[in-house]
């Protein structure tokens, strides 16, 4: 590793994050091209997944790419999809060296990109900033390896772990600063998901607001019976912002027709007993290309995801208020009788957000 490699790789990773939530099913990759100590090209995966980061950076670099070092946050692709392989584009541009943190676990690549570069006489170095790359690209890699997207569960609760009063009043537990952070988190995910109870109680839009972004994440509602209000904001905006409804295998025909009529996409999923099987729900989303899901509850859905071991990251906002035992819990019953059966998460971050606190936990 050379002295400047970590610095340029950190920049490539930061560029890649700009594409999160807007380039699925492709990975959100960043690329920096350096020659003679000067950046001559940079790029990140475009909305919709193409052009790829390397292609955008090479176009900016032009002839400056010849003999240059390329820092890219994932192994360059080696397969023909809707566009030619990025490995071939790098070879044709005459670059001298490619630095990438991790192998692309997509079976269509899986080391073949690196092998193609080395066969062309290009120096390849891997492993730099690998941990950060694995976190940034975890959704793409998880879907490639298991068929399931990465799932972040967000909870906003009082000091005593309640998400609403006994009457269901929950707006707003946290302050404006925390809500703005949540909107930024939505923007970096492919889909925002809630349960039917939350959709009925809060009548949410589930869109990203106040950040000036173009495009919106897919809105997903988990509703076994499709018994959601057709006059809701979600229904009325289904033709403008994608709305996917994950339901049981035998929905009411009239409700199904009504939701089809407003422009929603229905996805039939399997049951476990009388409840939707959440692994089936996530696999169905993965089949449609979703790599990163941001779940905003409610308590029953949170319990189902945690109980099935499907939560990769947990983000908890706590406000400085107490609601009391009659309030609604942030997580429903998990059915545990021994502490040893509870999944442990590793604390990754704790910080103040306005008058609230935010903690981020990752699967240990």
Asked whether residue 119 is marked as a ligand-binding residue, the answer is: no
Asked whether residue 296 is marked as a ligand-binding residue, the answer is: yes
CB contact set of 185 (below 8 Å; sequence gap of 6+): 152, 154, 294, 315
- Whose CA is closest to 320, among 155, 156, 152, 184? 156
Asked whether residue 298 is marked as a ligand-binding residue, the answer is: yes
- Whose CA is closest to 204, among 193, 190, 212? 193
Asked whether residue 170 is marked as a ligand-binding residue, the answer is: yes
CB contact set of 257 (below 8 Å; sequence gap of 6+): none
Asked whether residue 257 is marked as a ligand-binding residue, the answer is: no
Distance CA 47, CA 291 (A): 14
What distances in angstroms separate CA 121 from CA 56, 187, 258, one per listed residue? 23, 40, 60
Strand 191-195 to strand 265-268: parallel, antiparallel, or no bridges (unpaired)? unpaired
What distances in angstroms separate CA 326 from CA 160, 162, 164, 166, 286, one per listed residue? 11, 9, 9, 6, 38
Asked whether residue 209 is marked as a ligand-binding residue, the answer is: yes
Asked whether residue 300 is marked as a ligand-binding residue, the answer is: yes
Asked whether residue 198 is marked as a ligand-binding residue, the answer is: yes
Asked whether residue 202 is marked as a ligand-binding residue, the answer is: yes
Q: Give the active site residues.
A: 54
Asked whether residue 239 is marked as a ligand-binding residue, the answer is: no
SS3 state of residue 293: strand
Asked whether residue 219 is marked as a ligand-binding residue, the answer is: no
Asked whether residue 264 is marked as a ligand-binding residue, the answer is: no
Binding-site annotation, residues = 52, 77, 86, 156, 170, 172, 186, 198, 202, 206, 209, 296, 298-304
Binding-site annotation, residues for Zn(2+) = 52, 77, 86
Binding-site annotation, residues for substrate = 170, 186, 206, 209, 296
Binding-site annotation, residues for NADP(+) = 156, 172, 198, 202, 298-304
């Amino acid at each position: 590793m050379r002295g400047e490699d970590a610095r340029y790789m950190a920049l490539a990773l930061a560029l890649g994050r700009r594409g999160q939530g807007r380039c699925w099913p492709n990975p959100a990759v960043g690329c920096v091209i350096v020659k003679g100590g000067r950046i001559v090209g940079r790029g990140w995966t475009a909305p919709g997944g193409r052009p790829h980061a390397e292609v955008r950076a090479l176009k900016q670099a032009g002839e400056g790419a010849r003999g240059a070092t390329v820092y890219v946050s994932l192994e360059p692709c080696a397969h023909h999809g809707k566009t030619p392989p990025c490995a071939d584009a790098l070879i044709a541009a005459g670059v001298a060296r490619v630095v990438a943190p991790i192998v692309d676990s997509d079976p269509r690549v899986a080391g073949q990109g690196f092998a193609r570069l080395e066969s062309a006489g290009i120096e390849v170095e891997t492993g730099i900033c690998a941990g950060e790359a694995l976190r940034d690209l975890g959704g793409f890699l998880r879907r490639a390896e298991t068929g399931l997207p990465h799932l972040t569960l967000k909870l906003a609760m009082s000091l005593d772990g309640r998400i609403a009063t006994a009457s269901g009043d929950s707006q707003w537990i946290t302050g404006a600063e925390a809500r703005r952070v949540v909107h930024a988190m939505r923007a970096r995910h492919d889909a925002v998901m809630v349960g039917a109870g939350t959709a009925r109680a809060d009548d949410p839009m589930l869109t990203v607001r106040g950040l000036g972004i173009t495009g919106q994440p897919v809105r997903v509602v988990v509703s076994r019976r499709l018994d959601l209000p057709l006059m809701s904001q979600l229904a009325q905006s289904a033709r403008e912002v994608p709305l996917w409804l994950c339901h049981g295998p035998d929905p009411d025909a009239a409700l199904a027709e009504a939701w089809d009529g407003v422009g929603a996409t229905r996805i039939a999923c399997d049951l476990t007993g009388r409840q939707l099987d959440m692994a089936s729900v996530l696999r169905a989303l993965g089949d449609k290309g979703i790599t990163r899901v941001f779940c905003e509850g409610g308590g029953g859905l949170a319990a189902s995801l945690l109980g099935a071991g499907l939560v990769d990251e947990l983000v908890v906002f706590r406000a400085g208020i107490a609601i009391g035992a009659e309030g609604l819990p942030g997580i429903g019953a998990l059915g545990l009788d021994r502490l040893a059966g509870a999944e442990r998460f590793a604390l990754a971050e704790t910080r103040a957000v306005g008058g609230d606190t935010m903690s981020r936990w990752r699967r240990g």
